[in-house]
Amino acid sequence: MLLGVNIDHIATLRNARGGHEPDILTAVRICKDCDVASITTHLREDRRHIKDEDVELVRKFPRVRLNLEMAMTKEMQEIALRIRPHAVCIVPEKRQEVTTEGGLDVAGQIDWAIEFTKPLLEKNIEVSFFIDPDVHQISAVSKTGAPFIELHTGKYSNAYGTNEEEKAFQDLKGAAIFAQNFGLKVNAGHGLNYENVHRMHEIPYLQELNIGHSIISRAVFVGLEKAVKEMKALCENKQ
């Protein structure tokens, strides 16, 4: 499996003082030198971490594949069409939440999802929907023309090591198989860390894991390069 690194919390730390440190582009360079598959930034409606200019700078960084996470709003669609990231991952967003708490309800807004996706695909932007492992959501995504889903692994991550783990894990595995049968490619992410990531190898067809919080947290103690390399090894090699 490939590793995409979410650098939002480099920006969280930077914004705590309002200056330039830690520098986003230094983080991008370190991740690129570790040969990660992509850099993810979530441009939230409230700009609480990543800012518009960050997205533009990451997009211009040579030989870096930008995955822009964003809500399914007109504003974000316009930004994506202007900046043209390599990929977008469409996520639900609530202002009050600390992080993306669940998957997007694509089935409940299918007409808007189709309309939203079309111009992005026409600009050759790879589109992915961040959804819970749910067959109705997967079949809805297949109607939009988007080639990818990203499975929300939050339930599995929270349940890891408890009685709930197996059910949450089997839901992910079943969803990945179901999606593959629909011709969709499958990524996954949220809450994955150095302990729980190993079970992702048991899920067939997973292409890329998008991981942020655990990597940036570990980087505080061991440095970003080491933190990324360790996670990349866990993604690439079955233990």
Nearer to ligand PXP, 41 or 62 (CB): 41
Amino acid found at 183: G
Give the shortest CB-12-to-ligand PXP separation in angstroms. Answer: 11
Measured in degrees and rounded to the nearest 5, phi and psi for residue 211 equal: -130, 135
Q: Is 42 a catalytic residue?
A: yes
- What is the residue whose two structure tokens read 């990231």? 85
CA distances to 70, 91, 169 from 73, rounded to whole Å, are 8, 10, 31
C-alpha–C-alpha distance, residues 194 and 192, integer Å: 7
Length of the chain: 239
CB of 9 to ligand PXP, least distance (A): 7
Q: Which is nearer to ligand PXP, 181 or 217 (CB)?
A: 217
Active site residue 69: yes
Q: Closest separation between CB of residue 62 and ligand PXP, Å? A: 24
Which residue number, 144 or 214, has a Cβ lying nearer to ligand PXP? 214
136 among known catalytic residues: no
Catalytic residue among 42, 49, 93, 126: 42
Nearest distance from C-beta of residue 184 to ligand PXP, angstroms = 15
Per DSSP, 6 falls in state: E
Q: Which residues bind ligand PXP (CB under 6 A)?
A: 6, 8, 42, 69, 89, 91, 99-100, 130, 150, 189-192, 210-214
Which tokens in the block code for residue 179? Answer: 């999606």
Catalytic hit among 49, 150, 190, 208: 190
| Residue 21 tokens, joined | 């440190």
Structure tokens at 32: 């690129």
Residue of 9, 69, 126, 152 with catalytic role:
69
Cα 236 to Cα 234: distance, rounded to the nearest angstrom: 6
Q: Which residues are catalytic?
A: 42, 69, 190
